[in-house]
């Protein structure tokens, strides 16, 4: 098929609400996380059949304060990703120079032709570019 | 000090077999504005049918074309979805960031310079001659034709109009009228204008047009309409058509030159050609028949006594092929300049 249409983001549907910091929140709840490296995960995938998950860690925004509102950007400089109990990746919330569209195959493609849609447009990403640091089980150093 | 037990999000990865497929597409500012606007159009990923090179994919908005470059990353990129409740057993009921996809590459867009759709159309469509209505090529509709040209709809439409293409018969057979057909059709329109007293150099309303086009003729009205449209400046707001003197002289001159040169594209005498050309223009526009309008389409020989058509269709196709080779050459160059790629990612990091 020489031409594949890409449909614009649908504006219907309830806006997704999550507890993520505002800049990372998107209508569909989709966000982008980048890690310089690979996660080797030995945790068995668990969960219901259609939603099998492997827990790899926790993302913490140590300086984020919901009360401070949109004007405060200092917290974006530091985000932690704890992998298991003993390793921590330091990263930041980064504004993308060029926003990115997340394209996915359109569910309601009619006659078997490929159709794509813009699922979301993200302006920020969570990026972890530093090597992991060892931390104690309680997070102290 | 922050601890792992602070309020945060569990990060969980969906098993590979259940992951969704996402593509990341970088959005230049003008494209971002377009797709976030109130009436965002459908944009199109296009590739040309016969090109197998990686570089042949383009992204088209109604009036812009972007070359697509696929950039791989060694980093792990996740598309995550946040859910408010954890579905993982034995883990706290914290909100979860669920990594639902792991795209391997990002699509970057580079604006393309303006390219004409004409070579693609010439290569794809059969020509329409008055005697032989269908050539042996398989029928292509206008939509199919545009879908196979790796250019935006605006560029395709411009080429379609310039070549005076039309869909014959059941509207499924797109064709290009030959120079001889164009000249004949134009001459008939010109004669009809003289006979009915319609001034071709002025505004033509619908009534005028139907009187000009509904003449007893051997060809469908669509040909005449297409030929007239190729000479007029597009004006969608008004109901009238106005022929553009320069465009009219140019199209008529080129068609005549091609027609007179015949299938062998031999040279013909310049002076008689110019007289015939002027004769084929409305009286007021005779002076517009100047050779500089046809720049690039002809070559003078014999000290200017003879004029020789430069086979523009062949040249144009060659140029298009040359263009695509040059394009792949430049990608090769871009691949070798890996350090430049690196520099960008270094800055970004």
How distant is the Cα of B348 from the closest Cα of chain A, in angstroms?
9
| A74 part of a folded domain | yes
Per-residue pLDDT tens digits for A104-133: 988 765 666 788 999 999 999 999 988 888
Find the domain containing A98 and state its range.
6-10+19-134
| A114 part of a folded domain | yes
A43 touches chain B (CB under 8 A): no
Categorize the per-residue pLDDT at B132 as very low, low, confident or very high, splitting at 50, 70 and 90: low
| A111 part of a folded domain | yes
| A140 part of a folded domain | no
- The upper half-sphere exposure of residue A33, i.e. CA atoms within 13 Å in the direction of its Cβ, equals 30
| A61 part of a folded domain | yes
Q: Which of A10-24, B81-95, B315-329 has the lowest mean pLDDT?
A: B315-329
pLDDT at A121: 92
| A78 part of a folded domain | yes
Q: Please count the other Cβ atoms lying within 10 Å of the Cβ belonging to residue B230.
A: 22
Mean pLDDT on A74-98: 88
**Crossing angle of the two packed helices B179-196 and B221-229, in degrees rounded to 10:** 90
How distant is the Cα of B339 from the closest Cα of chain A, in angstroms?
19
Does pLDDT of B327 surpass 50?
no
Per-residue pLDDT tens digits for B236-259: 566 778 888 888 998 998 898 888
Does pLDDT of B185 surpass 70?
yes
Q: Which of A16, A32, A97 sits opposite B77 (nearest CB)?
A: A32
| Total structural domains within chain A | 1
pLDDT at A46: 61
| A54 part of a folded domain | yes
Task: Give the residue with greater pLDDT, B102 vs B268.
Answer: B102
Contact (Cβ atoms closer than 8 angstroms) between residue A109 and residue A116: no
Per-residue pLDDT tens digits for B39-93: 889 999 988 654 444 456 889 999 899 988 889 988 899 999 887 654 445 445 5
Categorize the per-residue pLDDT at B329 as very low, low, confident or very high, splitting at 50, 70 and 90: very low
Q: Is A79 left (phi over 0), alpha (psi -120 to 50) or beta?
A: beta
Q: Which of A45, A50, A81 sits opposite B11 (nearest CB)?
A: A81
Q: Please count the other Cβ atoms lying within 10 Å of the Cβ belonging to residue B25.
A: 26
Task: Give the residue with greater pLDDT, B161 vs B319.
Answer: B161
pLDDT at B94: 66
A101 touches chain B (CB under 8 A): yes
Residue B22: phi and psi, rounded to 5, are -125, 150
- Give the separation between CA B180 and CA B291, rounded to whole angstroms: 20
Does pLDDT of B9 surpass 70?
yes
A59 touches chain B (CB under 8 A): yes
| A139 part of a folded domain | no
Share of chain B above pLDDT 90, in %: 13
pLDDT at A42: 63
Categorize the per-residue pLDDT at B324 as very low, low, confident or very high, splitting at 50, 70 and 90: very low
Select the residue from A1, A3, A99, A123 to test the B interface by mutation, using most B Cβ atoms within 10 A.
A3
Per-residue pLDDT tens digits for B98-127: 889 999 999 999 988 778 888 888 888 888
Average pLDDT value for chain B: 78
């Amino acid at each position: 098929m020489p031409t594949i249409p890409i449909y614009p983001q649908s504006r219907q549907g309830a806006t997704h609400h999550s507890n993520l910091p505002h800049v990372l929140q998107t209508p569909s709840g989709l966000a982008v996380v980048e890690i310089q490296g690979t996660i080797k995960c030995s945790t068995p995938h668990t969960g219901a059949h259609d939603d099998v998950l492997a827990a790899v860690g926790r993302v913490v925004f140590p300086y984020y304060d919901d009360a401070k509102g949109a004007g405060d950007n200092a917290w974006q400089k530091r985000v932690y990703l704890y992998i298991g109990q003993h390793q921590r990746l330091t990263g930041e919330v980064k504004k993308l120079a060029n926003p990115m569209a997340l394209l996915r195959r359109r569910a309601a493609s009619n006659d078997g032709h490929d159709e794509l849609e813009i699922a979301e447009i993200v302006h920020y990403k969570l990026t972890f570019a530093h090597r992991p640091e060892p931390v104690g089980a309680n997070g102290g150093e | 000090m922050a601890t792992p037990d602070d309020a945060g999000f569990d990060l969980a990865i969906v098993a590979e077999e259940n992951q969704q497929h996402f593509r990341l597409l970088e959005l230049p500012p003008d494209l971002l504005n377009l797709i976030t606007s109130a009436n965002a159009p459908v944009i199109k990923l296009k590739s040309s049918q016969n090109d197998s090179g990686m570089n042949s994919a383009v992204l088209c908005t109604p009036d812009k074309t972007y070359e697509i470059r696929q950039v791989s990353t060694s980093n792990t990129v996740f598309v995550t979805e946040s859910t408010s409740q954890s579905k993982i057993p034995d883990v706290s009921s914290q909100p979860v960031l669920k990594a639902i996809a792991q795209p391997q590459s990002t699509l970057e867009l580079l604006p393309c310079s303006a390219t004409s759709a004409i070579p693609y159309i010439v290569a794809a469509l059969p020509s329409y001659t008055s005697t032989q209505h269908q050539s042996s090529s398989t029928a292509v509709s206008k939509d199919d034709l545009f879908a196979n040209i790796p250019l935006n709809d605006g560029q395709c439409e411009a080429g379609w109009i310039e070549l005076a293409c039309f869909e014959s018969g059941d509207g499924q057979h797109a064709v290009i009228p030959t120079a001889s057909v164009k000249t004949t059709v134009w001459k008939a329109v010109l004669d009809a204008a003289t006979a009915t007293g319609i001034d071709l150099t002025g505004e033509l309303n619908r009534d005028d047009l139907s009187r000009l086009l509904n003449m007893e003729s051997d060809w469908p009205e669509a040909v005449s309409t297409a030929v007239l449209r190729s000479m007029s400046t597009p004006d969608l707001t008004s109901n009238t058509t106005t022929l553009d003197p320069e465009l009219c002289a140019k199209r008529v001159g080129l068609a005549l030159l091609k027609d007179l040169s015949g299938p062998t594209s031999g040279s013909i005498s310049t002076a008689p050609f110019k007289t015939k050309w002027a004769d084929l223009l409305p009286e007021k526009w005779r002076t517009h028949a100047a050779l500089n309008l046809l720049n690039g389409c002809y070559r003078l020989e014999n000290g200017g006594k003879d004029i020789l058509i430069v086979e523009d269709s062949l040249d144009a196709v060659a140029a298009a092929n040359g263009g695509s080779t040059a394009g792949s050459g430049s990608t090769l160059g871009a691949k070798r300049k890996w350090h430049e790629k690196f520099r960008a990612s270094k800055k970004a990091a």
